[in-house]
Amino acid sequence: MKKGKLSAKTKKLIIKIIAVVLVALIGTAAALVVKDRKTDFNSAQKYSVAMNTVITQKIYADVPGVHIEPVRAIINSLDGYISCKDSESVLSRLNSEGTLNDILIAEALKTCLEVSEKSGGAFDVSMGKLSESWAIGTENARVPSDEEISELLSQCGYEKITLDGSKITVAEGVSVDLGAVGKGIACDYIMTYLKSKTDIKGAVVSVGGSILTYGQHNKAGDEWNVGIRHPRNENEYLGIIHMTEGFVSTSGDYERYFEQDGVRYHHILDGNTGRPSDSGLISVTVVCDSGILSDALSTACLVLGAEKAEALLNEYGAAGVFVDKDMNITVVGDIDFEY
């Protein structure tokens, strides 16, 4: 086939297709950064797609553009490292061989197992096979039978994952899935990169429903504004969090779901029942000083329900915004939430 330049018409079509994809993905994001009120620092902004979601990054620095590609590379590298969907990933090797010596995954699992224990198993990364059976978010989404759920639950359980330093061992049949915390992990690694560069004055990076804010975006030191999506009206904000440096993660029953016989089945499974969480909460946003922890806690809280979730956040010194089925909003901890 002869190579040649794309026609203007073809270029416009490609741009339109990309725009449609971005809009569709942004529509699934749980939290969005609200436009800065003002800035007097040089900045560069970039949109891309990775980890099956939209990545947005805005960096404020002397020469901000030089940091865009390194941040994107961190996300892409982690995506291929901890994805259980990629048969060549390091995590897939753990699931196929049952053991692995790896510092990155061991550190992530240490946090996950702690949250699992403190939440009584509401949060559990051992449910890879169960999640695969539900297949929510794919064209093969379905409701497994009670017998199938019971059988798959017998192969789950965070207690079946053991750590000895960087050595990880999982019981036979267990499949580890870090999808619930992958975006938070990416935010942690990005934060480490940002702090290592003395020329960076500030940055805000969104990896789907997980956001990090770092430093300042203007000389006045104005706070960052993070908008929380309305759980039932995707084009509206529920409210805005005013914050300084930190991490924000939102989990909701609207991110990935399907409906059957009038029932909504969402992708956040309860580790105790093997079914989509039905705690009364439909959206949970958590603010804390760790990306992976904000991810894990937002999922755990959605499963636990408001009362137990508030106790869990208090134990970690984290803050949150809960929304229940009746659209009642509960604000927990030290957080500046405007709605």
Per-residue pLDDT at 1: 34
The domains of the chain, with CATH numbers, are 29-81+181-338 (3.10.520.10), 90-170 (1.10.3980.10)
Residue 306 sits at φ, ψ, to 5 deg, of -55, -50
Give Cβ neighbours of residue 316 (< 8 Å, ≥ 6 apart): 288, 293, 297
Residues of the chain with pLDDT under 70: 1-39
Helix axes 291-304, 103-118, angle to 10 degrees: 30
pLDDT of residue 40: 78
The β-bridge partners of 283 are 252, 323
pLDDT of residue 30: 55
Angle at 29 between CA 76 and CA 44, to 5 degrees: 60
Q: What is the pTM of this model?
A: 0.88
> Residue 144's pLDDT is what?
94
Q: Which residue has the tokens 């865009």?
A: 68
Query: Residues 6 or more apart from 165 whose CB is under 8 A from it?
Result: 106
The rounded distance, in Å, linking the Cα atoms of 116 and 112 is: 6
pLDDT tens, residue by residue, 75-105: 999 988 999 889 999 999 999 999 999 999 9
Strand partners, 285: 250, 321
pLDDT of residue 33: 53
Rounded Cα distance between 150 and 152, Å, is: 6
> Which value, to the nearest 10 degrees, does the dihedral of the CA atoms of residues 179, 183, 188, 194 take?
150
For residue 58, what pLDDT is reported?
95
